[in-house]
Structure 1
Amino acid sequence: MKQTQFKLICTLMAAVFTVSQAAAQTKEKQIFLSPPLIRSIYTADPSAHVFNGKIYIYPSHDIDTAVTDNGSGDHFAMRDYHILSLDHINGPVTDHGVALDIKNIPWAGRQLWAPDCAYKNGVYYLYFPVKDKQDVFRIGVATSKDPAGPFKAEPQPIEGSFSIDPAVYTDSDGQSYMYFGGIWGGQLQQWATGKYQPNGSKTDLQNDDAPALSCKVVRLSSDMKQFEGPVKDVIILDESGRPLLGKDHDRRFFEGPWMHKFKDKYYFTYSTGDTHYLAYATSDKPFGPFRYKGIFLKPVQGWTTHHSIVEFKGKWYLFYHDTEISGKTHLRNVKVTPLYHRSDGSIALIDPFKSK
């Protein structure tokens, strides 16, 4: 990538951040739909799961930093994970303390971003993205016998892993899959050729009429610690059966994948990033292809939208984050609200603000 092209991307990203911050100031005057689950620390990117009859939430742990906001996300300088739990929706939230610290990951360099957790055969597996000592995002795994941790990291990242936002879905047959990836600061565009390119490749800002950069999906091995088989693209098709294009910022994948199943349909949900929606697409197979269906969360206050969807005691819930407490894009707080599947399989649209 030429230096002038790189500067153009940085300029455009800075403009997006400026616009979103101005929008956040406007949103402050509105009434939030849901309260923060916890106020003692800043949390984001909530991956929620039901273990042992309780909801456990695996979020990022935001910290204040002197790093200036930039398109590479350097101001998201998280260094550890706290695990939260609650016995019922709207009940008290327990912070179980530090479950994994970056200093205890032998290969890690900086930036512990959005994690996820899975369970199999008596072991809990915490999946986490972190930049290695060469400043390249890889995905690691840590294990514990307790869903609240503490977790012990494997000595090396998962072979063949890259980018960010791992989300692990275990199907009814016991097979587990990992969905992962994020563009811009998540480095997915730097793997467009299959090999890491430090200066990046064309992003959706430069390659509007080509199929959009895609989330990745791969089977996990039986021990849950390795990839099994090739990493594949998650193809999202429009109403005409054509892949979504890079210029389709309202619908294309940006980051934050999640998978859930409802009435034998696979729901691939994700953030559109710079347009701030949560969107969904459905398929009859975990590998897809997926058909785009619509958005189900309008923009929150703050820049990012990252989520999870979980069924608990017969009802479905959306976990997400915004910046109600701080008003700063890198100091977020997690929230929860009911999510509804309509009789036709569509998801009802959620507005993160109440009408006055």
Structure 2
Amino acid sequence: MSNHNEQPLSPLEIELSDAQSKQQQDLARAQSLQPKHRPLVEHIYTADPSAHVFNGKIYIYPSHDIQTDAEINDNGEQFAMRDYHVLSLDRDTFEATDHGVALSVEDVPWAQMQMWAPDATRKNGRYYFYFPARAYDGIFRIGVAVSDSPTGPFTAQDNYIEGTYSIDPAVFADDDGSYYLYWGGIWGGQLQNWRDGQFHPRDIYPADDQPAYAPLVAKLSDDMLSLAESPKDILIYDENGKLLRAGDNQRRFFEASWLHKHNQQYYFSYSTGDTHKIVYATGKSPYGPFTYQGVILNPVLGWTNHHSIVQYNNKWFLFYHDSTLSGGQTHLRCVKMSELIHDSEGKILPLQAYE
């Protein structure tokens, strides 16, 4: 028997109900997703995956971990990588192909060792590969190498990019044809050694109640080989409009910058380092400022956490690494991937890493 006293839903109530249903669907889908259990490649150790879509195919630019006798310490001496491989994924099966060595430290005149997390981009049919390395003076710098192929081999410029220092370059191509380079990292990444444009051997960190060290960004020049401007700090604020503090190691920047754009909003994501999470903040400009939003990926097996985010065939994917292939050795890692969900409000639904 129907209840004649029931009132039909208003358009606003219908809209709210539909929105709640969409959010529930997004959450259920995210909870059903798991990062792939097996590494994308198992014949070498890989880490720090930077993924891009070129010519309708996903290419991954990771670092290449190696066995080493170097001391395991906070300066990262155990991360003794000496070359880079490029991976690509089959369009249908997502099986990975290793295209071999694309660049080696022996091919870079200014670099001595520690070829850490790189990135790549394409412009006018050429491919530009950005990489950090420790120069002969012990200071991390960022270099660039060029190729006519997304898989290399890449030819390095004779010197590092003037005005760069520290680690973890990430390049973002905006819709208007501008390219931006992001970089920076504390501890082994040496941001704490730079003051007034000069490198100082002694580490100095802000007090816990002071703003944390900021990552850096600069627009690239037209030839993609230099900076078009002086680097700028990327400001990351909390929900109350205050800069994230150095003592807030659950949210403050540590390393592993990445930028992607979704529905005209810029997403700046990064690693929290000693709390082992990938988190993100959003803003209206590639320069920021950004407002902290939440966690993307919870801690994985191993100390480090480093990622990239790319859209492919109308889906978003997170690439990351852990240490499962080596049984937990933090400097011997493996690259994995998972689908990533932006909900109906643009929030990224966090993933729990599965071993």
When residues 239 and 89 of structure 1 are mapped into structure 2, their CA distance, relative to the original with a 3 A threshold, is farther
Compute the displacement of 1:32 (Å).
7.2
Compute the displacement of 1:192 (Å).
3.8
User: CA separation in 2, counterparts of 1:325 and 1:267?
Assistant: 30
Q: Does 1:198 align with 2:201?
A: yes
User: CA separation in 1, counterparts of 2:96 and 2:310?
Assistant: 17
Query: 2:192 is matched with which residue: 183, 189, 192?
Result: 189
Question: Is the CA contact (8 Å cut-off) linking 2:35 and 2:339 kept in structure 1?
Answer: no
Question: Is the CA contact (8 Å cut-off) linking 2:163 and 2:230 kept in structure 1?
Answer: no
Compute the displacement of 1:87 (Å).
2.1
Question: Is the CA contact (8 Å cut-off) linking 1:53 and 1:87 kept in structure 2?
Answer: no
Within 5 Å, which residues of 2 pair with 1:104-183?
104-183=107-186
User: CA separation in 2, counterparts of 1:164 and 1:59?
Assistant: 14
The one-character-per-residue Cα deviations of 1:196-252 (angstroms, maximum 9, x if unpaired) are: 11122x225xx1111000100111001101011120111000011010000000000
Question: Is the CA contact (8 Å cut-off) linking 1:280 and 1:292 kept in structure 2?
Answer: yes
What is residue 307 of structure 2 aligned with on the other side?
307
**2:337 partner SS:** strand
Q: Does 1:70 align with 2:79?
A: no
Q: Which deviates more from structure 2 when the two are superposed, residues 345-354 or residues 208-217?
A: 345-354
Compute the displacement of 1:194 (Å).
2.6
User: CA separation in 1, counterparts of 2:329 and 2:93?
Assistant: 25
Q: Does 1:268 align with 2:265?
A: no
Question: Is the CA contact (8 Å cut-off) linking 1:73 and 1:185 kept in structure 2?
Answer: yes
* Same amino acid, percent of matched pairs: 55
User: CA separation in 1, counterparts of 2:324 and 2:205?
Assistant: 31
When residues 32 and 173 of structure 1 are mapped into structure 2, their CA distance, relative to the original with a 3 A threshold, is closer
User: CA separation in 1, counterparts of 2:140 and 2:93?
Assistant: 35
Question: Is the CA contact (8 Å cut-off) linking 2:36 and 2:337 kept in structure 1?
Answer: no
User: CA separation in 1, counterparts of 2:118 and 2:170?
Assistant: 8
Q: Does 1:235 align with 2:238?
A: no
What is residue 349 of structure 1 aligned with on the other side?
350
Paired residues in the alignment total 321
**Alignment-mate amino acid for residue 203 of structure 1:** Y
Structure 1 portions without partners, runs of 5+: 1-30
User: CA separation in 2, counterparts of 1:234 and 1:262?
Assistant: 19
Q: Which deviates more from structure 2 when the two are superposed, residues 275-284 or residues 185-194?
A: 185-194
Compute the displacement of 1:75 (Å).
0.6
Compute the displacement of 1:92 (Å).
2.0
**Alignment-mate amino acid for residue 257 of structure 1:** S
User: CA separation in 1, counterparts of 2:298 and 2:93?
Assistant: 22
Compute the displacement of 1:191 (Å).
1.1
What is residue 7 of structure 1 aligned with on the other side?
none
User: CA separation in 1, counterparts of 2:42 and 2:80?
Assistant: 19
**1:353 partner SS:** coil
Question: Is the CA contact (8 Å cut-off) linking 1:34 and 1:352 kept in structure 2?
Answer: no
**2:188 partner SS:** helix
What is residue 284 of structure 2 aligned with on the other side?
284
Compute the displacement of 1:138 (Å).
0.4
Compute the displacement of 1:109 (Å).
1.0
User: CA separation in 2, counterparts of 1:242 and 1:271?
Assistant: 20
Compute the displacement of 1:193 (Å).
3.5
What is residue 210 of structure 1 aligned with on the other side?
210
What is residue 332 of structure 1 aligned with on the other side?
333
Compute the displacement of 1:81 (Å).
0.3
User: CA separation in 1, counterparts of 2:256 and 2:247?
Assistant: 19
Compute the displacement of 1:88 (Å).
2.8
**2:114 partner SS:** strand
**2:192 partner SS:** helix
When residues 318 and 190 of structure 1 are mapped into structure 2, their CA distance, relative to the original with a 3 A threshold, is same
When residues 266 and 63 of structure 1 are mapped into structure 2, their CA distance, relative to the original with a 3 A threshold, is same
When residues 89 and 273 of structure 1 are mapped into structure 2, their CA distance, relative to the original with a 3 A threshold, is farther
Structure 2 portions without partners, runs of 5+: 1-33
Compute the displacement of 1:34 (Å).
2.8
Pairwise CA RMSD of aligned residues?
1.2
**Alignment-mate amino acid for residue 107 of structure 2:** N
Compute the displacement of 1:105 (Å).
0.3
